[in-house]
Amino acid sequence: MRLKNCHNYHDFKNLARKRLPNPIFNYIDGAADDEVTYRRNTSSFDDCDLVPNVLNGVEEVDISATIMGQKLDMPIYCSPTALQRLFHYKGEEGVAAAAEKYGTMFGVSSLGTVSLKELRKYKTPQFYQFYFHKDRGLNRAMMQSAKEAGIEVMMLTVDSITGGNRERDLRTGFSIPFRMTLGGMLQFALKPVWGINYLTHKKFSLPQLDEHIHMSGNPMSISRYFSEMLDSSMNWQDVEEMVKIWDGQFCLKGIMSVEDAKKAVDIGCTGIILSNHGGRQLDGSRSPFDQLSEIVDAVGDRIDVIMDSGVQRGTHVLKALSLGAKAVGGGRFYLFPLAAAGQIGVERALGLMHAEIVRGMKLMGCKTVADLSKKNLKFR
């Protein structure tokens, strides 16, 4: 199978499976516990149907969307994800270049493998995904670095107060630094091209953290980072203070309840991302699409409501926008293409998504994303 034969999410996923050592593939694809939430995230889109209007003169359609003051040429962006240079040696550079080409936003994880500063050369808006550390001085220093790098939107992830139980990783022994089981190591030996690329390109590092914590040069593992450095006592007052210090566009990623959505408005956030981290944290939790309408009804006139988790198709994007989301994010929809083919893989995924959204809008009889509404959606 080759990139030119990839026409949808599943094709990219199959190609990524062929190219990646199995522990890395399963790190991307895996989710928490029984992966019930992971499956529901996508199947929830099938509980409703689009109802088109016709004869609306849809020669030209405009699929741009504005979130937190940033104009995106398409209503889906690349959510922040960790460790991208493990998936392909180009990592965040490839994703940022593809996002720039399609005029959309991309997020850079605190566990990103290319520095915020280096990624500023791509002229497209950037989220900085932040975790809250016990050391408040460190939090301030990291926000200051992000301000100096010219980051447009600060994104605090609030659904990862502790790590999810990813059983696939326990089986393969996937961890950073690598501590593979024998079976896991054998899987690396079976994908020598990945190994050659890994060893012959820039040394793996976590620059967002290295600047402050020295992670990759010493044995501080990511699981120790979560358990020892992050602050599980984080509360609404702490975040309110962060919002004030940042003094700009600030969103919370991982809001799921109406109560929390209202609190986010009260403390001055400008956006919320309904998300369950792609099913990787609390298994058995509700899918963002199932929860979207309730939240839009409660706060949609006061804050930008965005969702991620489970989005694989242009029609999923149209359904979320019909319920009032301002835009959607996606993780695996660009990570499998990145693993499959680097930057050109992500470009192909964004190009296909763009074409699907434009085609879907035309078939729906909509000229702009604002034309999509609940009237165009019927639950079974």
Q: For binding to ligand FMN (CB under 6 A), which residues are involved?
A: 27-28, 41, 79-82, 109, 111, 129, 157, 253, 275, 277-278, 280, 308-311, 330-333, 335
- Residue number with CB closer to ligand FMN (82 or 358): 82
Query: How far does Cα 365 stand from its chain's mean position?
Result: 29
Active site residue 10: no
Distance CA 109, CA 221 (A): 16
Q: How far is the CB of 329 from ligand FMN (least distance, A)?
A: 6
String of DSSP letters for 1-40:
--GGG--SHHHHHHHHHHHS-HHHHHHHH--STT-HHHHH
How many CB atoms are closer than 10 A to CB 190? 11
Of 277, 275, 284, 270, nearest to 257 by C-alpha is: 275
Q: How far is the CB of 308 from ligand FMN (least distance, A)?
A: 4
Distance CA 30, CA 280 (A): 7
Q: How far is the CB of 13 from ligand FMN (least distance, A)?
A: 11
**Distances, alpha carbon 56 to alpha carbons 53, 181, 192, 361, in Å:** 7, 59, 54, 11
- Residue number with CB closer to ligand FMN (79 or 343): 79
- Residue number with CB closer to ligand FMN (20 or 61): 20
Q: How far is the CB of 285 from ligand FMN (least distance, A)?
A: 13
- Residue number with CB closer to ligand FMN (31 or 63): 31
SS (H, E, C) 140-188: HHHHHHHHHHCCCEEEEECCCCCCCCCHHHHHHCCCCCCCCCHHHHHHH
Q: How far is the CB of 342 from ligand FMN (least distance, A)?
A: 16
Q: What are phi and psi of 378, to 5 degrees?
A: -130, 125
Distance CA 286, CA 284 (A): 7
Catalytic residue among 88, 133, 277, 316: 277
- Residue number with CB closer to ligand FMN (155 or 366): 155
Q: Which residue in the shown chain puts its C-beta closest to ligand FMN? A: 331
Give the catalytic positions in this structure.
277
